[in-house]
Amino acid sequence: MPRRSDRGAIRLDPRLVIGVALVAGSTAGVYALVSGLDDATEVYSVVQTVTPGDRLTADDLAVERVRFGSAAPRYLEADALPAEGLIVTSTVREGELVPLAAVDEADRAGLATVVVTSRAALPGDLEVGSRVDIWSAHRVERGDYEPPAVLVPGAEVAAISESGGIVQSGAASVELLVPRERVAVVLEALAAEDVIDLVPARPGDE
């Protein structure tokens, strides 16, 4: 029987196939290696100098890719900017990265920190960020006090001495943010050993 003609058939050299496979594998390996090494983080820098009290929005920022290595970045990351922006708490100069410590969600300008100890047990749901009214009963003589009155309404809780941030029973030292013009009043009450109580503020009383 006559053999069929192989004319027109394409024959691939096995060496060529192996070579192409090796090149493709090498390229994929290099790409995977480079991608794995690219651990840069996208963070924000400011396009112009900002100062305390300024509101920082996306229009004030530029994205920079920075490699921090194994250390956790301490700068504002590109996906961490709230829609309403952030308040600048310390100056960041043009072109500098934005430190997390230089921005805040709340405008704390005009506020100061005081530490008070509440006589009564604090509510179990009190935590950092809660608002409380600072009540004081002025001491007139040993064991005798005037009727209590509000010294500062709507002070913000910045820290609580108990671990975990929540106090369920017993007195505790609480760090509060209060208007600077009320600091002297609070300190006078503390110096006079007046009775201090912290009462959760009602919504709308801030």
CATH number at residue 73: 3.90.1210.10
Per-residue model confidence (pLDDT) at position 3? 53
pLDDT reading at 131 higher than 60: yes
Per-residue model confidence (pLDDT) at position 72? 61
E strand residue ranges, 142-206: 144-145, 149-160, 173-179, 195-200
State the Cα angle at 120 between 115 and 123, rounded to 5°: 85
Structure tokens, 120: 């009564």
Structure tokens, 136: 């004081």
Per-residue model confidence (pLDDT) at position 37? 46
Domain stop point among 67, 89, 104 = 104
| Contact (Cβ atoms closer than 8 angstroms) between residue 43 and residue 73 | yes
Query: Is residue 60 domain-shared with residue 139, that is, in the same domain?
Result: no
Answer positive or negative: Cα dihedral of 127, 131, 50, 54.
Answer: positive
Give the domain extent around 120: 111-200
Give dist(CA 80, CA 58) in Å, integer. 11
Q: Is residue 1 part of a domain?
A: no
Query: Is residue 185 domain-shared with residue 135, that is, in the same domain?
Result: yes
**pLDDT tens profile 100-113:** 988 988 777 788 88
Question: 163-197 burial by CB neighbour count: b if 16+ within 10 A, else e?
Answer: eeebbeeebbebebbbeeebeeebeebeeeebbbb
pLDDT reading at 206 higher than 90: no
Written as one string, the DSSP assignment of 8-19 is T-----HHHHHH
Give dist(CA 191, CA 199) in Å, integer. 21
Query: Is residue 123 domain-shared with residue 154, that is, in the same domain?
Result: yes
Per-residue model confidence (pLDDT) at position 16? 65
Report which of residues 38 and 144 the model is more confident about: 144
pLDDT reading at 205 higher than 80: no
- Span 15-26, average pLDDT: 64
Structure tokens, 181: 């013009």
Query: Is residue 99 domain-shared with residue 130, that is, in the same domain?
Result: no
Q: Is residue 179 part of a domain?
A: yes
Q: Closest Cα to residue 189, out of 151, 158, 141, 161? A: 151
